[in-house]
């Protein structure tokens, strides 16, 4: 089975093509921290409470589109309710991300 997942990350106007594999990282936040060396990103370690890992997504599929647990509460506290704004720590590295576009949002 082909496990390859490829998607685009935009940070400060720069596009990066990311290639990884299913489950290659615990979640998207850890991948972004590792690949882009982002300071102050993902401060709560992925429990969905700090809102330092916000991304704007397009083209993700399947269950990755469902916001669960703390995510909607944390995002609404800082004024986000749009479906395309997500906490990257709540997105797993699965095929759902293949060919998606992800933009890092300043917080």
Report d(CA 1, CA 31) in Å as an integer: 22
- Measured from the CB of residue 33, what is the shortest distance to ligand FES in angstroms? 9
Asked if residue 87 binds ligand FES (CB under 6 A), the reply is: yes
CB-CB neighbours of 60 under 10 Å: 21
Nearer to ligand FES, 1 or 79 (CB): 79
Asked if residue 22 binds ligand FES (CB under 6 A), the reply is: no
Question: What is the side-by-side order of every strand in the sheet holding 85-87?
Answer: 14-21, 4-11, 101-104, 54-58, 85-87
Among 57, 60, 89, 102, binds ligand FES (CB under 6 A): 89
Tokens (6 digits) for 45: 């370690």
Nearer to ligand FES, 22 or 49 (CB): 49
Give the footprint of ligand FES on this chain (CB under 6 A).
29, 42-44, 46, 48-53, 74, 87, 89
């Amino acid at each position: 089975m082909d496990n390859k997942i490829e998607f685009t990350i935009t940070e400060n106007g720069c596009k990066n093509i990311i290639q990884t594999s299913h489950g290659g990282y615990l979640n998207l936040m850890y991948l972004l921290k590792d690949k882009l060396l982002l300071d102050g990103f993902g401060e709560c370690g992925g429990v969905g409470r700090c809102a330092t890992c916000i991304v704007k997504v397009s083209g993700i599929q399947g269950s990755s589109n469902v916001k669960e647990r703390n995510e909607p509460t944390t995002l609404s506290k800082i004024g986000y309710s749009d479906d395309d704004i997500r906490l990257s720590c709540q997105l797993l590295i699965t095929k759902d991300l293949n060919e998606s576009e992800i933009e890092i949002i300043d917080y």
